């Protein structure tokens, strides 16, 4: 997976949503489609004449014949490579791959990757996937894929190399803090069906919901689970929303998830160079579940990115939840997907996300209200591995959310997860002494 927090402009035949995700999306699409594609300034026109001349010379005089399409695609990639790491050009095949990705099922290893300081970096492995089981961690630097260096490799190229047929292997050479030298991780690819919602309950009327990613059905699945919890927990006294190692996903799902817990107020806003890219998203009034008002603790860590940060930032700034854990990843830029007429597409960074109080998310992250460090696992193991090993002494080897959702979390399980344990303690002694200041507007 690459970064998924994108806008799809609705002038493609294969539109990703039946309606725009927010008011003004169509206007923004037309603003980009019109002037960007039809108007040329004298300066731009002169530059294009130089490009056309160079292209014609290569086509006619280069030692070996080259398809014109490859030359044009290469030129576009060259232009985009001068921008930020999240902007890219996708040929028709790459664009189809991205569309498959947002449907929540694909063949790969289950990691979200990005460019950080021009180094291919793991945002987070998705819980339960081959990458997660292999021990990849947030912040891991991928220096090679199947022996090929990732230096100067684009995100699109990296995703293409990491994916492959089911049951085939891919070897990632990983550099990690604490490693004396890079290590190889050989991982078997699988079809990755994303189960974005997992849940458990605790004694005393407390619920626990883990979001592993933000996909098409995340909000509807969350709402269904909250309804079940309301029926099972009487009274419903508190909820832990676990966004740790959630690499993000779809913008509309981030807004809708935050909306489940807010009755009013700003959720997130964007600001970009084009006025049409500056938008504000508000919580809707009415039709709220009981969970909209229960005490809430949100867990985040360095693997929480993009959509996770939008949710955490909104709930923190609106004084709706206590945010606990460690600082989040800091991926808060808007990538607009602009389909081109031949089936290819541009992914352009067009705006930045801001929390309700005006804090930029990109490269800053969300600072928790209460800092709780997780115990770091030894090289080659994940936190879930440690929990599983500890629990194996008492019961079958199961992860925290691999059991029936309505089976209460035990004291032994809580002891293996310090941030969750602290979150439960806060809920049992609610209200906390201090929350973030309520933003204005």
Catalytic residues: 306, 317, 331
CA distances from 164 to 12, 190, 192 (A): 27, 9, 12
User: Looking at the chain, how many residues does it have?
Assistant: 441
**Tokens 């997907």 identify what position?**
337
Contact 251, 307 (CB under 8 A): yes
**Tokens 């990115």 identify what position?**
305
- Give CA–CA dist 247/306, Å, rounded: 7
- Give CA–CA dist 169/172, Å, rounded: 10
Nearest alpha carbon to residue 360 among 320, 331, 322, 335:
331
- Give CA–CA dist 123/197, Å, rounded: 19
Backbone angles phi, psi at 102, to 5 degrees: -75, -10
Query: Strands 370-371, 322-325: parallel, antiparallel or unpaired by DSSP?
Result: parallel
> Beta partners for 214?
249
Nearest alpha carbon to residue 3 among 436, 430, 337:
337
Q: Three-class SS string for 105-162? A: EEEECCEEEEEECCEEEEEEECCCCHHHHHCCCCCCEEEEECCEECCCCCHHHHHHHH
Quick one: which H or E segment has residue 80?
Answer: helix 68-80
- Give CA–CA dist 417/242, Å, rounded: 12
DSSP, res 8: E
- Give CA–CA dist 368/366, Å, rounded: 6
**Tokens 């809580």 identify what position?**
414
Show the tokens assigned to 342. 């031949």
Side-chain-side CA neighbours of 199 within 13 Å: the count stands at 20
- Give CA–CA dist 204/428, Å, rounded: 8
């Amino acid at each position: 997976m690459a970064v998924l927090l994108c806008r799809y402009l609705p002038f493609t035949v294969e539109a990703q949503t039946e309606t725009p995700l927010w008011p003004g999306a169509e206007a923004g699409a037309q603003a980009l489609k019109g002037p960007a594609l039809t108007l040329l300034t004298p300066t731009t026109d002169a530059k294009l004449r130089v490009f056309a001349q160079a292209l014609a010379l290569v086509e006619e005089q280069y030692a070996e014949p080259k398809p014109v399409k490859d030359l044009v695609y290469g030129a576009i990639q060259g232009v985009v490579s001068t921008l930020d790491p999240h902007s890219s050009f996708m040929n028709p095949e790459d664009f189809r791959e991205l569309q498959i990705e947002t449907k929540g099922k694909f063949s790969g290893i289950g990691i979200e990757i990005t460019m950080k300081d021009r180094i291919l970096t793991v945002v987070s492995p998705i819980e339960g996937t081959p990458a997660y089981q292999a021990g990849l961690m947030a912040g891991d630097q991928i220096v090679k894929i199947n022996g090929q260096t990732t230096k100067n490799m684009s995100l699109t190229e990296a995703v293409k190399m990491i994916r492959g047929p089911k049951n085939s292997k891919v070897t990632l050479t990983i550099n990690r803090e604490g490693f004396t030298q890079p290590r190889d991780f050989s991982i078997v690819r699988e079809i990755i069906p994303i189960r974005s919602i997992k849940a458990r309950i605790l004694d005393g009327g407390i619920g626990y919901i883990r979001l592993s990613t933000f996909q098409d059905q995340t909000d509807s699945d969350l709402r269904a689970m909250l309804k079940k919890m309301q029926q099972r927990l009487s009274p419903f006294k508190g909820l832990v929303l676990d966004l740790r190692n959630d690499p993000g996903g779809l913008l509309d799902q981030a807004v809708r998830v935050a909306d489940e817990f807010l009755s009013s107020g700003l959720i997130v806003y964007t600001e970009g160079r084009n006025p049409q890219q500056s938008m504000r998203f508000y919580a809707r009034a009415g039709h709220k579940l009981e969970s909209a008002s229960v005490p809430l603790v949100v867990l985040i860590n360095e693997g929480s990115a993009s959509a996770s940060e939008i949710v955490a930032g909104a709930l923190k700034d609106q004084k709706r939840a206590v945010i606990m854990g460690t600082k989040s990843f800091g991926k808060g830029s808007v990538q607009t997907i602009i389909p081109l007429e031949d089936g290819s597409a541009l992914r352009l960074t067009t705006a930045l996300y801001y929390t309700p109080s005006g804090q930029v998310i990109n490269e800053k992250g969300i600072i928790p209200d209460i800092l709780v460090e997780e115990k770091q696992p030894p090289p080659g193991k994940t936190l879930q591995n440690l929990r599983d090993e500890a629990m194996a002494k008492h019961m079958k080897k199961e992860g925290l959310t691999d059991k029936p959702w309505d089976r209460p979390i035990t004291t032994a399980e809580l002891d293996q997860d310090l941030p969750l344990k602290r979150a439960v303690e806060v809920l049992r002694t609610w209200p906390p002494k201090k929350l973030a200041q309520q933003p204005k507007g």
